[in-house]
Structure 1
Amino acid sequence: MQTQNPFFDEMAKLTTAAMGLAQAAGEEARAALRSQADRIAAEFDLVRREDLDALRTELAALRAELAALRAQQAGQETGTNTP
């Protein structure tokens, strides 16, 4: 048969409350750190990875189009200069 010890019951409740408080404080600190990091990123005017990848893709397409236009122009210039 087990006996209830009020001291151990109170210690268990206190420990449980302390663990809950520590967990809540950790989550609050994590949220504050994330908020601070977002604010700093906004101040530095950083670009998101998705936006950078989209710009790189667009730039590659524009470079290909420019190369094609230059080749077309070079073909026209050699065609008009030949008698």
Structure 2
Amino acid sequence: MSEFAAVVKAPDYPPQLKHKVIFETFDGLDAGQAMLLINDHDPKPLYFQFQATRSELFTWDYVEQGPELFQVKIGKKS
């Protein structure tokens, strides 16, 4: 079984949909599950958006930190 309940490859989506898809995917996770975000740049602004809207609900762990590929494990706390 995969460590991730879902994978979002952000570059596959148009800019206006990226954050919507990421948040919808996260919101669909069960407590204790995690998703993998794959991006072509550091998604730090997204981290701050998670902090502002879901601060007690998520974990954020870099799996890979560039320079060309960024992968972040975003977990939903139990």
TM superposition score normalised by structure 1: 0.21
The structure where helix makes up a greater share of residues is 1
Q: Which structure has more RCO (C-alpha within 8 Å, separation ≥ 6)? A: 2
